[in-house]
Amino acid sequence: MIRVSPLIDRLVEALQMLPGVGPKWATRMALNVLQHNRGGGSALATALADAVAKVTRCAQCRMLCEAEVCAICANPKRDERLLCVVESPVDVIAIEQAGSYTGRYFVLHGRLSPIDGIGPAQLGLDDIAGLARERGIDEVILATNPTVEGEATAHYISEALAGAPARLTRIAHGVPLGGELEYIDGGTIVHALQGRRSV
């Protein structure tokens, strides 16, 4: 990387923490902001600082939000008896954008991965069974990604929920093997939810 000035170098370096951004793109973005859009740059800095300082996890579903309880959990129109378990907040956004799901969520913030030291405790997996009993949930939809780790996570939850009154379903149709919900279009997600099967 060509060194320009300590402040620009620092900005270019910082931008590279964004997923998919290498040194070339980071340099372009940094110079573009400084050249053409300083106001936007300030707004971005403030928005980022505020979000990082104030956004935390919903006390109920663990979705990212700045209130104690997120807008979905606080919405009385959402069906409390349906709980959809997803790996990441971005999956909640993808399902919400598809627009057909009316229940609640539980966000794991990861998937089982013993190599990376991610076990059931980090993901709150054992809390799901407690939630299912406490809230009288009728159906738990396992919407973890159809990857090896996603399947292992779904399997663990199904074991933890064995004996609980809630029906367990797994999204199936339309989601390609090894695919991630984040990259799938809304129509496919609707089909995947409609085609869920008991596990």
| 83 binding Zn ion? (CB under 5 A) | no
Let me know: does 130 contact 83? Beta carbons within 8 Å.
no
Query: Of the two residues 1 and 67, which places its CB atom closer to Zn ion in the complex?
Result: 67
Query: Of the two residues 106 and 156, which places its CB atom closer to Zn ion in the complex?
Result: 106
CB of 117 to Zn ion, least distance (A): 26
Query: Of the two residues 12 and 108, which places its CB atom closer to Zn ion in the complex?
Result: 108
Query: Of the two residues 70 and 192, which places its CB atom closer to Zn ion in the complex?
Result: 70
CB of 59 to Zn ion, least distance (A): 7
- How many other CB atoms are there within 10 angstroms of residue 118's CB atom? 17
| 157 binding Zn ion? (CB under 5 A) | no
Query: Of the two residues 73 and 154, which places its CB atom closer to Zn ion in the complex?
Result: 73
Q: How far apart are CA 52 and CA 55, in angstroms?
A: 6
Q: How far apart are CA 62 and CA 14, in angstroms?
A: 27
CB of 198 to Zn ion, least distance (A): 26
The residues, ordered by sequence, that sit 6+ positions from 78 with a Cβ below 8 Å of its Cβ are: 72, 102, 103, 104
CB of 3 to Zn ion, least distance (A): 45
Buried b (16+ CB within 10 A) or exposed e, 45-73: eeeeeeeeeeeebbebbbbbbeeeebebb
| 73 binding Zn ion? (CB under 5 A) | yes
The residues, ordered by sequence, that sit 6+ positions from 76 with a Cβ below 8 Å of its Cβ are: none
Which burial class, exposed, middle or buried, applies to 139 when counting CB atoms under 10 A from its CB (0-12, 13-18, 19+)?
middle
Which burial class, exposed, middle or buried, applies to 177 when counting CB atoms under 10 A from its CB (0-12, 13-18, 19+)?
exposed
Count of residues in contact with Zn ion, rule CB under 5 A = 6
CB of 90 to Zn ion, least distance (A): 15
| 189 binding Zn ion? (CB under 5 A) | no
Q: What is the CA radius of gyration of the chain?
A: 20
Binding mask 39-68 for Zn ion (x = CB under 5 A): -------------------x-xx-x-----
Query: Which of 12, 30, 70, 92 lies at the binding interface for Zn ion (CB under 5 A)?
Result: 70
Binding site for Zn ion (CB under 5 A): 58, 60-61, 63, 70, 73
